[in-house]
Amino acid sequence: MVPVCCADAFIGVNIGTDISDMPNPTQVVALLRAQQIRHVRLYDADRAMLLALANTGIRVTVSVPNDQLLGIGQSNATAANWVARNIMAHVPATNITTIAVGSEVLTALPNAAPVLVSALTFIHSALVASNLDSQIKVSTPHSSSIILDSFPPSQAFFNRSWNPVMVPMLKFLQSTGSYLMLNVYPYYDYMQSNGVIPLDYALFRPLPPNKEAVDSNTLLHYTNVFDAIVDAAYFAMSYLNFTNIPIVVTESGWPSKGDSAEPDATINNANTYNSNLIRHVLNNTGTPKHPGVAVSTYIYELYNEDMSPGSVSEKNWGLFDANGMPVYILHLTGSGMVLANDTTNQTYCIARDGADLKMLQAALDWACGPGKVDCSPLLQGQPCSEPDNVVAHATYAFDAYYHRMGMAPGTCYFNGVAAVTTTDPSHGSCTFPGRDSGSGKNVEQYDPNEHFGESIDKSWVSPDEDGVLLEEVVDTLDQNPPKERPRREIRR
């Protein structure tokens, strides 16, 4: 049988909170809406975040944190109380579609493994009692390290020591119409292969036929690590006689910065991986084993988490920094709407959500005065006069100044009331500067001494997007990459 999860695959994002200056829920949701992100996964069931997500239509996966798993797995009443408090209190206004029970429990919290299936069952029973089981699925994310002998994929099987948990868990997923949640990190497979796995193979870059990996048992060709891992999970389930359970990838991504031991954690590689991943998923490519079968995926992650323990790379998986500034601009031509438009060379400066109106007015006055912005389009009867409020007018003036200065670092600051976005704020006949600015030609030289506000937040400086880091491809691909996979430290 062919597993079926969703008619069309979707891309979502994980929202971690190990951030010293965590944006408030309203700011988080504003970023999600501005970037047209329609699916999110939370690592808990934070009340304020769920309230902020209400009436947005955004589809939400909430989580039972690992530290609550033992209690829920040992008590049906505790599970029912959790559902009442964290689910019933928010639906239907908040579009909760999935509950992730724990995170990589078998590898991160093995002492809780004996109660994992009970926790899934108790949570599901509470949903049944509330008539929510048809709209909210229950599952649990796994590390791909529970899969052994993963290449060739047709030989893969789950670590047999976990079969007493995996078999009843898969029966639960099958009987409830749910799906296997899998965290897939080609970055770690590449890093641990010591040059055996080509970088291009990990990044979804095109490979010549002689560089593709071929499963000698099925003769299926694999052009990327991601598909090989997902198919390994399909084959591992088949080994246990489960052939119709779909897979949702709950985490996948690439770090944009690392220390000297992680030279391939770069902005260019992170951009390449995530851009290609999004395109691959949204094209409904499926995998060689199940072509055309959706493999919806959540990118790890929305924000860089500066408080994450571990190496430098652990703090740099995000698409945005805590200010909402993109770490890099994803290249998404032809792959549909995920993070706004394909804005490789397009960024805009807008009024920051929730900014003080008096400060906005002062910044607007400066931009239209000493800042030398042509604010005539804001006059009554002109294309950008409506909406007639300080936020809309400041956004136009900020963007005009930002592009007149060639989008130089610091020119979208305005004492903290402005922010860079990749979403074009143009509306109706009001076309904002930057829509067709391209490379920013014919701009003035930026003088930081003339900028509105005395301090410039250097964390808002856009990374240099020029050039692409090219890596040599090794001549041959070993058919037996390491069985032991490292995994991200589980903090939640």
CA distance 96 to 98: 6
- 104, 301, 305, 314: the active-site residue: 104
- CA nearest 109: which of 75, 140, 147? 140
251 is catalytic: yes
CB 107 within 8 A of CB 143: yes
Which of 212, 251, 262, 484 is catalytic? The answer is: 251
The percent helix, strand, coil of the chain (3-state, each to 5) is 35, 15, 50
Residue type present at position 361: Q
Q: Quickly count: other Cβ atoms within 10 Å of residue 57's Cβ.
A: 10
For the packed helices 76-83 and 116-129, what is the interaxial angle rounded to 10 degrees?
Answer: 50
CA dihedral 140, 174, 281, 277 (to 10 degrees): 30
Ramachandran quadrant class, 120 (left: phi over 0; alpha: psi -120 to 50; beta: rest)? alpha
Q: Could you tell me which of 82, 93, 86 has the C-alpha nearest to residue 123?
A: 82
Asked if residues 388 and 379 have their Cβ atoms less than 8 Å apart, the reply is: no
Which residue in this structure is represented by tokens 């804001």? Answer: 378
Residue 314 falls in the annotated catalytic set: no
Q: Among residues 10, 45, 60, which one has the least CA distance to residue 248?
A: 10
Rg (CA), the chain: 24
Residues 293, 486, 109, 322: is their CA dihedral positive or negative? negative
* Residue of 49, 45, 177, 159 lying closest to 113 (CA atoms): 159
Active site residues: 104, 251
